[in-house]
Amino acid sequence: MVFMVEGNASMYLGSPRMAQEVVGERVSLEEMGGARMHCSVSGCGDMLCPDEETAITALRGYLGYFPSNWGQDPPAAAPRHPGSGADIGALLPEEAARGYDIHEVLEALVDAGSFFEIKALYARELVCGLARSGGQGRWAWSPLSRPTREASCSLTPPTRRPASSASATPSTCP
């Protein structure tokens, strides 16, 4: 898992000067290998955070899904009813070609505030993350398709609903 702080993290093999000499194109360090580029284009970064404090908080949240060592079970959490309490049948359209918001479905399935999204800016047709169900320390890494993008063939990203709990941390670290 790679947490990157915008404006303070970068990764590249060359320099803007090299790019200009080899390709003839002027690029900045941020465009060539900055945090936003790696979290949205190359996929090397998993979570883009605005500052170090937010990155540390997100890292702690992420590590909270895993045991301290291989011989332990994942840490338990107090079970919480699903965030939205919505009827899943009402969230899914009758027509298979119609889109729906997968985040609403997740809020109706997993413990409130437990969904930890990863790679939100990369491969936006998918939603990946960790979540708890029943608070029993169980978690799942779950790549899901984002039907609002695929069904509608929209070039504009769907609007994100705010996290239903302060413990939820989106992978863009708002």
CB 106 within 8 A of CB 82: no
- The more confident residue out of 56 and 157 is 56
What is the reported pLDDT for 76? 82
What is the reported pLDDT for 169? 45
**pLDDT tens digits for 64-77?**
989 999 999 888 88
**pLDDT tens digits for 8-47?**
998 988 888 888 999 899 988 888 899 999 999 999 999 9
Nearest-5° Cα angle at 48, 57 to 99? 110
DSSP state of 166: T
What lies within 8 Å, CB to CB, of 62 at 6+ separation is 1, 116, 130, 169
Pairwise CA distance, residues 112 & 167, whole Å: 9
- The more confident residue out of 99 and 155 is 99
Pairwise CA distance, residues 172 & 174, whole Å: 6
Q: Has residue 154 got a pLDDT over 60?
A: no
Pairwise CA distance, residues 116 & 163, whole Å: 10
| DSSP string across 86-145 | --HHHHS-SSTTS---HHHHHHHHSBTT--EEE-TTSSTTEEEEEEESTTSS-EEE--EE
Question: pTM here?
Answer: 0.75
142 pLDDT band, cuts 50/70/90, is low
What is the reported pLDDT for 167? 41
**pLDDT tens digits for 88-131?**
888 888 887 788 888 888 888 888 888 899 999 998 888 889 88
